[in-house]
Amino acid sequence: MENILYLVIPCYNEEEVLPETASRLGEKVNSLIRQSKIDERSRIIFINDGSKDHTWEIIRALHEKDRMFGGINLSRNRGHQNALLAGLMTVREYADAVISMDADLQDDINAIDEMIDKYLSGTDIVYGVRSSRKRDTLFKKATAEGFYKIMNAMGANTVFNHADYRLMSRRALEGLAEYGEVNLFLRGIVPMIGYSADIVYYERGERFAGESKYPLGKMLSLAVEGVTSLSTKPLRLITGLGFLIFIVSIGMLIYSLVRHFTGATIVGWTTLMVSIWAIGGLILLSLGVVGEYIGKIYLETKARPRFIVEEFLNEKE
């Protein structure tokens, strides 16, 4: 098996961490090369996501000094997910396996060894999963774990406590490339590709310098983006709600009629009560039906691959 490994690392205003990150990752890759687990042509590629500081200059200098380091400069800030995708799609023709990770080394780089071992034994996708969040603040832990739970409940199936620290083989990346959608949520799409997958656990550390580029606001928008770009479940929930209210309206109809005939109402109450519930339920139900079609249109416009063939056994004549 060929084993050129590329690391892709999106960077947004990371001048404080880059030199250290580069030297630690360089060491790691060199040690893997020495153990002949990966090819000498393995590389570490930083993606500059329109940083406003000296991130790109640092990347350029790293590249001048050591050809193991490379860089991709995006024309402007496009956000973590897009920067990551740009990296994956650009390097996929040169690499046999690609590992994506953050620039701040919060993801333990020692998990790379295990990822490589799993890759070498034939696994196509290896997810890095946080075993604990001891070092995250209570707030970050609660919001981040809530994030995964809500996402899953809303139909965006992601790997629990897995961020974008993962290894993908070249054919998995080619599968990913088939997904032409603009609203792309990598953590949701990658499990859809298929192929053999495995998990590696690691301790999530602290950012060793600089501050988080993912404040609560960005995390919320990632969650909304994740759900709305992956699934049409929220639309289906409307249908469900409409149905529920319609059932309630039938109950209300019976209740109002009973009250009416026992004379316990004033004129007009019964008709008002019944129409409010019935019409409310019907409106929601119809919205849900319209929503179902919109959901279909939405999924059609994404033009996702309908299948990816893993193997084809066929004897030609």
Residue 169, interface with Mg ion (CB under 5 A)? no
166 token code pair: 């993962």
For residue 169, give the nearest of 205, 211, 123, 202 by alpha carbon: 123
Q: Which of 96, 104, 164, 225 binds Mg ion (CB under 5 A)?
A: 104
Rounded Cα distance between 214 and 190, Å, is 21
| E strands present in 215-284 | none
Query: In whole angstroms, how close is the CB of 214 to Mg ion at the nearest point?
Result: 7
1 CB-near residues (< 8 Å, 6+ apart): 96, 120
Encoded one letter per residue, x for contact with Mg ion by CB under 5 A and - for no contact, window 188-217 reads -------------------x----------
308 token code pair: 């990816």
Rounded Cα distance between 46 and 8, Å, is 6
Which of Mg ion, ligand UDP, none sits in contact with 69, Cβ below 5 to 8 A by type? none
Which of Mg ion, ligand UDP, none sits in contact with 79, Cβ below 5 to 8 A by type? ligand UDP
Encoded one letter per residue, x for contact with Mg ion by CB under 5 A and - for no contact, window 223-252 reads ------------------------------
Residue 136, interface with Mg ion (CB under 5 A)? no
Residue 81, interface with Mg ion (CB under 5 A)? no
Which of Mg ion, ligand UDP, none sits in contact with 10, Cβ below 5 to 8 A by type? ligand UDP
The answer to whether 87 touches 47, Cβ cutoff 8 Å, is: yes
- Tell me whether residue 109 or residue 252 sits nearer to ligand UDP (CB atom): 109
In the complex, which residues of this chain contact ligand UDP (CB under 6 A)?
Answer: 10-12, 14, 49, 77, 79-80, 83, 102-104, 106, 207, 212-214
- Tell me whether residue 103 or residue 193 sits nearer to Mg ion (CB atom): 103
**Interhelix angle 233-261/269-302, nearest 10 degrees:** 170
* Spatial strand order in the sheet of 162-169: 69-73, 43-48, 5-11, 97-100, 162-169, 125-132, 197-203
Query: In whole angstroms, how close is the CB of 279 to Mg ion at the nearest point?
Result: 50
Query: In whole angstroms, how close is the CB of 102 to Mg ion at the nearest point?
Result: 5
Residue 100, interface with Mg ion (CB under 5 A)? no
Q: Which of 13, 106, 229, 270 binds Mg ion (CB under 5 A)?
A: 106
Query: In whole angstroms, how close is the CB of 73 to Mg ion at the nearest point?
Result: 21
- Tell me whether residue 91 or residue 238 sits nearer to ligand UDP (CB atom): 91
Query: In whole angstroms, how close is the CB of 152 to ligand UDP at the nearest point?
Result: 19
Query: In whole angstroms, how close is the CB of 88 to ligand UDP at the nearest point?
Result: 13
273 C-beta neighbours (distance < 10 Å), count: 19
Query: Measuring CA to CA, how many Å separate 273 from each of 249, 252, 264, 284, 293?
Result: 9, 7, 14, 17, 31
Residue 13, interface with Mg ion (CB under 5 A)? no
Query: Measuring CA to CA, how many Å separate 315 from each of 308, 309, 312?
Result: 20, 17, 10
Query: Measuring CA to CA, how many Å separate 210 from each of 14, 16, 22, 148, 230?
Result: 7, 6, 15, 25, 32
Query: In whole angstroms, how close is the CB of 104 to ligand UDP at the nearest point?
Result: 5
- Tell me whether residue 157 or residue 212 sits nearer to ligand UDP (CB atom): 212
Query: Which parts of this chain interact with Mg ion (CB under 5 A)?
Result: 102, 104, 106, 207
